[in-house]
Amino acid sequence: MDLISKKIGRTLRSAILFETMIYFEFSYNLWCKMFFVKCEMLKMIRLNFVLFEKLFDMKPHKKLHSWTKSFEFVKDIYLVTSKFPVEEKFGLTSQMRRASVSIPVNIAEGAARKSPKEFRQFLYISLGSLSELDTLILLSESLSFIEKDKSDLLIEKLDVIGKLIYGLAQKIVVND
């Protein structure tokens, strides 16, 4: 009997050990599969994000010629207004700077919108700021804050920017 109980004991221990090994192997395989799936999902998410960035450019305004020209024009206005009289700091200087900044800012904001109708509306707002700035440049010239040749050059640049913005607005197809 002693021999039989030893054999049964060994068999039971082997069965329990075998069952435990299978459980651990199953758990390990499951964990490996889950980890692999997780890694694959992370790779896919990373890949999808890269594709998303390429398909839906997060800064589409930087590719627009009207934006780059108007962005450079802001620097010109800041340079010109830095030579204005100190008493105009909160008057004409501030107004010209805000109007000039408004042009590229509205182009950028409109380009970031998903609706062509909204984009077009922001382009028209930037054209309004452009007209305001045109008037302020002429006013600055008549008040002798800007020399005639400098104001002519600024207005010429402003006209080019205006044509670029207007042309872009006309190219945008709006489905109402």
Query: Which residues of the chain, if any, have pLDDT below 70?
Result: 1-59, 176
pLDDT of residue 164: 92
Q: Look up the domain containing 85 and give its range.
A: 60-171
Q: In terms of domains, do 98 and 125 share one?
A: yes
176, part of any domain? no
Q: Do 52 and 99 sit in the same domain of this protein?
A: no
Res 106: pLDDT? 94
- Do 29 and 79 have their domain in common? no
pLDDT at 65: 84
- CATH number of the domain at 106, please: 1.20.1440.60
- Tell me which amino acid residue 63 is: K
pLDDT at residue 126, rounded to an integer: 96
Task: Please tell me whether residues 27 and 98 are part of one structural domain.
Answer: no
* DSSP per-residue letters across 12-76: HHHHHHHHHHHHHHHHHHHHHHHHHHHHHHHHHHHHHHHHHHHHS-S-GGGG-HHHHHHHHHHHH
pLDDT score at 155? 96
Domain count, the chain: 2
> Which pTM value belongs to this model?
0.66
Question: Within its chain, how far is the Cα of 93 from the centroid?
Answer: 30
Predicted pLDDT of residue 54:
45
CA distance 45 to 32: 19
pLDDT digits (tens, 9 = 90+) for 131-167: 999 999 999 999 999 999 999 999 999 999 999 999 9
